Chains A and B, each alone.
Chain A
């Protein structure tokens, strides 16, 4: 049973962005297991329809949407859903997002996860944005009588790896980010000493850990590593000490964008001209104005990533959002929504079937060619062979920094 063959898989142009040359994904041969699962799920689907699911399929979306860093994720997810629904929905049903704001708070994320998991209409969840919330919520999504898929667009903590059968992410881990950043600092920037200011949370400690490990392995020295809380209010003494010691050749900000901007601003005010770099949490810092010029950060996704698919996504996204550009979270969320829609399309709306279909991406199902690149899951829910790029802020835009 090849349901996919029943419906041409293409994306209609949105607004007036011109034809979006997104090619249908090649139809991969599917093993009988999935076919059987499809039959099973078709039955479940009927039950679901009777239960009152009606014409819609509900997918949870959870992130810090009240914050700036959550914006792109929300917008891109909505874009993906509207595209899918415009093309006829999934299995003839409209996709609906159930958006839950977790405010990047672990406690809120746990509450949100409980709510989404215990809502029988929710077939999968795209979320969360940060590593901390994703890890905290993973315990919820993976437990209970009816666990549900948690597919994070941007949680990069290594602690997320293998945390549960239902937890996946479309982005690379901090191991990749930290390692890539350390190599960039050591090899491209020629730094041998580094000062690290890290946000004292899962993310900050994670990227600091992998950065420090790789940098030391390469032969560099971590001069000092100072924890800050979100907001970076207490960073002054650290910067003063760094400035006074004057041994560090690069300043690594393992913080989120807001905190990073605060620190960056203070550092520049103090006259610290060290090259500043950070993880993908700095994404969007280019919006901070001149102070952000020359800041490096690693990312799964840069808007000017080559490829027709990304070009189409960029056009649609910016057309729908007054010329805004998506960040890696938005691109990840866009891919995540499509991955879940595909899984539902192939396996039905059963949570377990969606989980199995998702886990099979890149093995018994074809790898997904998303706007963030090729996505294939390993057995621990991480994407395999996902590379990151180091970008640099030039004239308020983030551009690849591969050529120093």
Chain B
């Protein structure tokens, strides 16, 4: 498992931080230790001094208390005064209190305690001896009291010895304390020095290591950088070094590698460009040439097209005229056809009329012959009528006379004859009218007779004329027939003409539209040809520019190739 960088001290940072931390820690430890040492030393000294002072003061109080006690006891023995006994007792109790106090002091050894305890026992015995001595003295037994006092004094001596021994112990302890303090001080000093020395050594070692760790890779990297500056892009083998430098070297290597790649690419690319630029130059020259040709061709095309357009426009106009003419032709032909048909119809009718007339004429001839006969008969019948008219006239004259007689008779009949008189008047008028009618018939007969005579003559003349008319009409009929036939031919021709004209017209229309289309196309062609020409000209110009650029590029590619040839890959 790979340790993280900070843990394995592979980075300069970690080393520096570690070194600094160690140094700071060492210094801080030294400082702290020094401070603590001083503090503890002070504390220890203070405690020792305090203990010594305390035990000294208690000890001396104890000693003086016991001496006081002895003094009071002795004084009572010399002059029995209850106050002295009181004092002896109270001082004694105080001294016991002091001893208890002393025993509670710290740092007393078991031996100390036993010694103190033996002092207590001695003091108790001393007190008892003195007390008994006092009691004996009080009881007037002086001798015994003195004996007791001797015992008491013996105890006092022993107490003195014990207290001296305690004092010696105190002194010994004080010097022991001092020794301990001195030892602990020198020990602390030694530890402090050791810590400081360790810190210093660690610092120096780390500084040297760090310097070495920095210098060697830095030199390598510098050389690599110089090489890189000289264009040597070959890989650099950095070797073992701190992580930062390894990273830097890696970065250097990566940079050189990438730079090498780029340079290589540039060389390749410039060669390729040079090739391409050569090609391009050639092509552009060709292109220039061909575009010139195109230009020329297009100019020609443009001219031809214009002409074509004009001619086509003319053709179109002609076709239009042709179309119009064809249309007119067709109309005329149609009209001819219609006329022919009309003629044919009329001629047919005429021919029928002529035939009819001819028939009528034949009828007329027979009718005239028959009429002549009949008119002759009529002429003879008119004579019968003459006779009948003479009769009618006589009847009319008779009737009139009768009516006149009837009127005279009616007038004589008076009133009763009035009605008859009216009838008689009416009959007379009728007789008058019959007489007038008979007169007009006689006149009409006269006229008819003359007419018949005229008709007979006309008839006779007509019969002669009919014969002439007959022959004429026969020839007319024949002529009409010929006309009909001819008209039918005309009609056919006209129809043919119309068909042809329609065809012509269609053809003309087609021609016209084609001509127009062609003309438009031709115009367009012309325009296109012009733009092509312009484009071709432009292209030509561009091509020239391109050719120039290509040659420039060629030059640039060459320069580039020269430039990158400085790098060593």
Contacts and interface: CB of A to CB of B under 8 A. Distances in A.
Given A136-B117, A140-B110, A209-B93, A240 B135 contact: yes
Contacts of A107: 114, 117-118
A357 interface: no
B125 to A, nearest CB: 6
A237 B128 contact: no
Interface in B72-129: 89, 92-93, 96, 100, 103-104, 108, 110, 113-114, 117-118, 120, 124-125, 127-129
Contacts of B96: 205
Chain B interface helix/strand/loop/mixed: helix
B395 interface: no
Contacts of B89: 225
A229 B113 contact: no
Query: Which of B114, B117, B128 gathers most chain A CB within 10 Å?
Result: B128
Contacts of A229: 124-125, 128
B1 interface: no
Contacts of A274: none
A244 interface: yes
A226 interface: yes
A110, A136, A200: most-surrounded residue (chain B CB, <10 A): A200
B138 A110 contact: no
Contacts of B129: 234
B135 A201 contact: no
A293 interface: no
B108 A139 contact: yes
Contacts, number: 67
Interface string A232-245: 00100110110010
A200 B113 CA distance: 18
Nearest to A113: B110
Nearest to B124: A200
A139, A140, A225, A244, most chain B CB atoms within 10 A:
A139
Given A227-B127, A240-B139, A241-B139, A205 B93 contact: yes
B102 to A, nearest CB: 11
Most buried by B among A110, A201, A238: A238
B131 interface: yes
B66 to A, nearest CB: 14
B136 A110 contact: no
B369 to A, nearest CB: 180
A139 B113 contact: yes
Given A234-B132, A237-B132, A238-B132, A110 B124 contact: no
A140 B120 CA distance: 18
Taking each of B104, B124, B125, which has the highest tally of chain A beta carbons within 10 Å of its own beta carbon? Answer: B124
Most buried by B among A107, A140, A244: A107
Nearest to B135: A237
A74 interface: no
A237 B110 contact: no
Contacts of B104: 139, 163
B110 A110 contact: yes
A181 interface: no
A106 interface: yes
A401 interface: no
Nearest to B106: A143
A110 B113 contact: yes
A86 B132 CA distance: 54
Interface string B132-175: 10011011010010000000000000000000000000000000
A159 B135 contact: no
Contact of B117 (A106, A163, A226, A237): A106
B154 to A, nearest CB: 15
Given A205-B93, A240-B139, A139 B103 contact: yes
Contacts of A106: 113-114, 117, 120
B128 A227 contact: yes
A244 B136 CA distance: 12
Most chain B beta carbons < 10 A, residue from A202, A209, A234, A240: A234
A234 B96 CA distance: 21
A198 to B, nearest CB: 10
B128 A241 contact: no
Given A114-B110, A136-B117, A139-B103, A200 B127 contact: yes
A111 interface: yes
A240 B137 CA distance: 12
A81 interface: no
A146 B141 CA distance: 56
Given A110-B113, A114-B110, A226-B131, A237 B124 contact: no
Contact of B128 (A136, A159, A228): A228
A227 B135 contact: no
Contact of A110 (B93, B114, B120, B127): B114
Contacts of B127: 200, 227
Interface string A102-118: 00001100110010000
Nearest to B138: A241
B124 A238 contact: no
Interface string A125-144: 00000000001100110000
Nearest to A209: B93
Contact of B136 (A200, A225, A237): A237
A217 to B, nearest CB: 17
A201 B128 contact: no
Contacts of B131: 226-227, 238
A209 B94 CA distance: 12
Nearest to A230: B124
Contacts of A238: 131-132, 135
A246 to B, nearest CB: 14
A180 B100 CA distance: 25
11 contacts: A114-B110, A159-B100, A200-B125, A227-B124, A227-B128, A234-B129, A234-B132, A238-B135, A240-B139, A241-B135, A241-B139
Interface of A: 106-107, 110-111, 114, 135-136, 139-140, 159, 163, 200-202, 205, 209, 225-229, 234, 237-238, 240-241, 244
Interface of B: 89, 92-93, 96, 100, 103-104, 108, 110, 113-114, 117-118, 120, 124-125, 127-129, 131-132, 135-136, 138-139, 141, 144
* Minimum-distance CB pairs A-B, first 4: A237-B135, A200-B124, A106-B117, A107-B114
Given A200-B125, A240-B139, 4 more contacts: A110-B114, A136-B117, A209-B93, A237-B139
